[in-house]
Amino acid sequence: MTNTARALICLVGCLTIPIVGQAQGTLEQFSYDSVGFRGIQAGVGTMWSNKVETTPQFGLQIHLGEIASRVRIMLGVSYFKADLTDEEIRRLEEGILQVVDDPSGNATVDLGQVQWQDISLSGDVQYLILGGGARRWQPYVGGGFSVHFRNGSGDRIGGTVIEENLDQLQIGLDLTAGTDVRLTRSLVLNLGLRGVLTGNLNTFTLGVGLGYRVP
């Protein structure tokens, strides 16, 4: 992950901290009465990571309404497939060489192109900075958890321990920030940032989406 991406994830976290106290008071109004289908949106973004090349990421989110006057629930699914970075491939190749019995010291390993696919399911709680309800601008910050189903592939790693190690189920910690821009009574443009921290793959996505909101 680039230094810029790390800095932006830290920024999202720093923006969230001053709001926590205010959000605690808001959560005292917690209620399930407004929970239900309130909209859906599709989006695409550019994703940066510490182990795969920059790649497009596609997502779909369902708006489940507000559980308090400033707090809403979003469920989502996302997908990306990207090449491992040259640095990560070299690390894997060096790891293989360390366990190879090579008295001559002439052994080489070439994994070729390796790809990592990720399908994730996420649940976010987002704090609406300006308050709930229909607004022209609706900035937010939030967080949640995600489940990632990952699959590694490559012409030279099929059926090997490398492929097995890349086939993973991971839990992620998600940080989000962005704004909704209401275009019409039921149409919303979303501009958002998402940072995801998992055990061995951290990502940062800058995305744009178009959504429908129940009037």
Concatenated DSSP letters of 141-156: EEEEEEEEEEEEE-TT
Average pLDDT of the segment spanning 22-51: 78
Q: Where are the domains of the chain?
A: 3-28+37-99+110-213
Q: Is the pLDDT of residue 211 over 50?
A: yes
Concatenated DSSP letters of 59-73: EEEEEEEEEETTEEE
pLDDT digits (tens, 9 = 90+) for 11-24: 555 544 444 444 45
CA 142 to chain centre: 12
Q: Is the pLDDT of residue 40 over 80?
A: yes
pLDDT digits (tens, 9 = 90+) for 42-100: 999 999 999 999 999 999 999 999 888 899 999 999 999 999 999 999 999 888 888 77
Main-chain phi, psi angles of 13, to 5 degrees: -65, -40
Closest CA to 179 of 123, 146, 130: 130
CATH of 3-28+37-99+110-213, one of 3.60.20.10, 3.40.1390.30, 3.40.47.10, 2.40.160.20: 2.40.160.20
Q: Which residue(s) pair with 76 in the sheet?
A: 61, 122
Is residue 120 within 8 A of residue 146, CB to CB? The reply is yes
pTM above threshold 0.85: no
pLDDT digits (tens, 9 = 90+) for 114-143: 999 999 999 999 999 998 777 889 999 999
pLDDT digits (tens, 9 = 90+) for 170-197: 999 999 999 999 999 999 999 999 999 9
Angle, CA 210 vertex, CA 195 and CA 150 arms, to 5°: 40
CB burial of 185-199 (b: ≥16 within 10 Å; e: otherwise) equals eeebebbbbbbbebe
DSSP state, residue 104: T
Distances (CA, A) of 19 to 43, 47, 128, 135, 188: 26, 27, 10, 20, 24
